[in-house]
Amino acid sequence: DKRIARSKARGLAVWIDEEVEYRQALQTDFHRALDAGEIVPYYQPLIALDDDRLIGFEVLARWDHPTRGIIAPADFIPLAEEVGRIGELFDKLLVRACHDARAWPSDLRLSVNISPTQFAEPQMAARILDILARENFAPARLELEITENALVDEVSAARLILTTLRNVGVSVALDDFGTGYSSLRHLSDLPVDRLKIDRDFVERARLNDEGWRIVRAIMQLATTFDLATTAEGIEAPEILATLRELGCDIGQGYLFGRPISAAETGIWLRERAEP
Ligand code: C2E
Ligand code: CA
Ligand code: CA
Ligand code: CA
């Protein structure tokens, strides 16, 4: 038993070493990659649940690494925040997404994730509006998805920035709604248009009736506060059917489409347009 425990501990130690090495390698490589344009937008379709119309795409960052392949955002977004380059990363993704959007039908919208740490930058609203103007992308076609978890420190700054953007037509979604600590407070403190129901809740609804309770409660909250709703992580047709019945506005998930590269959106849109 001791021998097994020792070898397990050794295995764990090796795994931790490799993990630490991987993190350090990414960290040194990140700056070069950001400058070289290796961090690119992927696009996941957002579908209106009442008539299956394509509303737009959520922009999801991918690191297209020359040797490691595609790296998921969980591995580099926290890094970008730590080294203070998340704002730059956001700008680059937005510019690129506006550019890619020129190949799409002109009414399609973009939803872009914004890190709470970006609210520390007072010029943020001006920078976003500047990019939209330069790229000739109507503000009403942009939605910002903000995660509430870490907003706490920056609420007043966030409110100011979001209000400025909203005044010109940008909309705001509370991402991963219900997973943070002060969701309800943010509902009244921040200018918000939409709640995004976290994938965890949608997944739980798949298990049993009990699992639907939170989804239903969020839907009711949205009605009370006069907000639109998007459900993420829709993988099963029966989940989709119930979300429709509940009156959820927009759906997102592998059932409709996984996140794809800009090049792939062309193919995806053509296939979708075929009768
Ligand atoms: P999120 O904003 O909640 O994005 C949804 C995540 O769920 C995405 O993971 C997406 O690929 C995944 N997803 C969507 N539908 C399904 C489904 O049906 N099944 C399953 N299993 N997964 C689904 P991804 O792309 O790995 O992104 C993870 C998180 O990283 C995002 O969660 C977001 O918080 C963050 N992130 C991604 N791009 C950016 C970015 O440009 N800026 C910032 N600040 N954060 C980003
Ligand atoms: Ca999001
Ligand atoms: Ca989300
Ligand atoms: Ca999520």
Name the residue of 64, 199, 255, 264 whose CB sits within 8 Å of the most ligand 1 atoms, as the mutation to test its pocket: 199
Contact yes or no for 215/201 (Cβ under 8 A): yes
Contact 109, 55 (CB under 8 A): yes
Which pTM does this prediction carry? Answer: 0.93
Q: pLDDT-based confidence at 4, cuts 50/70/90? A: confident
Measured from the Cα of 198, ligand 1's closest atom is 3
Decide if 195 contacts 160 (C-beta within 8 A): no
- Give residue 198 CA to ligand 2 midpoint distance, Å: 9
Closest CA to 76 of 200, 108, 264, 88: 88
Distance 177 CA to ligand 3 centre (A): 8
Distance 200 CA to ligand 4 centre (A): 7
Residue 182 pLDDT exceeds 70: no
In the chain, count of helices (H) and strands (E)? Answer: 10, 9
Question: What is the arithmetic mean of pLDDT over 172-176?
Answer: 93
Of the candidates 88, 108, 107, 109, the one whose C-alpha atom is nearest the C-alpha of residue 31 is 88
Partnered with residue 251 across adjacent β-strands are 47, 231
Q: With a cut of 0.90, is the ipTM above it?
A: yes
- Of the ligands numbered here, which is closest to the C-alpha atom of 260? 1
Give the pocket of ligand 1 (CB within 6 Å): 44, 60-61, 72-74, 77, 93, 113, 115, 145, 147, 175-176, 199, 232-235, 252-254, 259
Cα(263)–Cα(110) distance, rounded to whole angstroms?
16
CA 33 to centroid of ligand 2, rounded, Å: 23
40, 58, 60, best to mutate for ligand 1 pocket (most atoms within 8 Å of CB) = 60
Q: Mind listing the pLDDT tens digit for each residue in 229-241?
A: 999 999 999 999 9
Residue 207 has pLDDT above 90, yes or no: no
Least reliable range by pLDDT among 33-37, 88-92, 108-112, 203-207 = 203-207
Q: How far is the CA of 49 from the centre of ligand 2 (A)?
A: 18
**Beta strand 54-65 with 39-48: parallel, antiparallel or unpaired?**
antiparallel
Neighbours of ion ligand 4 (CB under 5 A): 176, 198-199
Is the pLDDT confidence value at 243 over 80?
A: yes
pLDDT at 222 over 90: yes
Query: What mean pLDDT comes out for the span 42-52?
Result: 97
* Residue closest by Cα to atom 15 of ligand 1: 253
Question: Side chain identity at 256, as an amino acid letter?
Answer: F
CA angle 96, 232, 127 (to 5 degrees): 30
Nearest CA to ligand 1 atom 21: 233
| Strands 250-251 and 69-71, bridge-based pairing | unpaired
The whole-angstrom separation of Cα 57 and Cα 66 is 26
Residue with CA at minimum distance from ligand 1 atom 45: 113
Q: What does each C-alpha distance from 111 to 16, 58, 93, 194 come to in angstroms?
A: 36, 4, 11, 11
Q: For residues 14 and 18, give the distance between their C-alpha atoms in angstroms, rounded to a whole number.
A: 6
Between CA 71 and CA 61 the distance in angstroms is: 9
Which residues are CB-neighbours of 10 under 8 A, at least 6 positions away? none
Instruction: List the single range of 24-38, 48-62, 204-218 with lowest mean pLDDT.
Output: 204-218
Report how far apart, in Å, the C-alpha atoms of 123 and of each of 35, 241, 251 are: 21, 43, 33
Average pLDDT rounded to a whole number, residues 65-76: 95
